[in-house]
Amino acid sequence: MTIDELIENFAFFDSWEEKYQYVIDLGANLEPLEQKYKTEEWKVNGCQSQVWLLPKYSEGKIHFYGDSDAILVKGIIAIVLLIYNDKTAAEIKKVDVMEIFAKLGLEENLTPSRRNGMMSMVEKIRYYADLYRK
């Protein structure tokens, strides 16, 4: 699925219940992160739930694996990874994640007061992208 397809899918929902049921479904289908990586080392700080993020670098691009013990956060991770996965570091830096989340109608997840750690996760993705560039 592309981001544009995802935006189209989200356009069908009228209520937050439908929207977030879909977010949960996306989370349920998230590519699994191996249990052995669910450690302090790969934890994203600043979240009320536990969030892990693992980068795999190959052929100039980065592929991320993620997970969370909170169902909704896991769904949001699935969307974030759909946005960022298999891009070059330069491409990652160019992504306007706020704009995409606004189009999805999920911008409430990226406000600092939500503290569900999504911004921390996006920052961590950008951090790994920087690391790869150096």
Partner 1 sequence: MYDVEQIRGDFPLLAQMVNNKKVAYLDTAASAQKPACVLDKMSEIYRSAYANPHRGTYYFAEKITAEYENARKIVQEFINAADSREIVFTRNATEAINLVAATWGIKNLHAGDEILISEAEHHANLVPWQHICEITGARLVVFKVTDEGDFAAELFKQKLSAKTKLVAVTAMSNVLGTIFPIEKIVSAAHQNGAKVLIDACQFAVHHRIDVKKIDCDFLAFSAHKTYGPTGVGILYAKAQILESMPPYQFGGDMVDNVTYEKTTFAEIPARFEAGTPASVQAIGMGEALLYMQKIGLDNILHHELEMTEYMEEALNSVPHLRIIGQPQNRGGVFSFAVGKIHPQDLAFVLNKENVAIRIGHHCAQPIVNRMGYTSVARASLGLYTNKEDINSLYEALLKAEKFFREE
Interface residues with partner 1 (CB under 8 A)? 16-17, 20-21, 24, 48-49, 69-73, 116
* Cα angle, residue 110 at apex, residues 108 and 115 outer, rounded to 5°: 95
Which is closer to partner 1, CB of 55 or CB of 66?
Answer: 66
Cβ at position 112, least distance to partner 1 in Å: 15
Cβ at position 16, least distance to partner 1 in Å: 6
Which is closer to partner 1, CB of 114 or CB of 133?
Answer: 114
Cβ at position 15, least distance to partner 1 in Å: 10
Q: How far apart are CA 15 and CA 5, in angstroms?
A: 19
Which is closer to partner 1, CB of 6 or CB of 109?
Answer: 109
Q: How far is CA 105 from CA 15, 23, 102, 111, 118, in A?
A: 11, 12, 5, 13, 15
**61 carries an active-site annotation:** no
Which of the residues 23, 30, 47, 89 is marked catalytic?
A: 47
Residue type, 29: N
Active site residues: 47
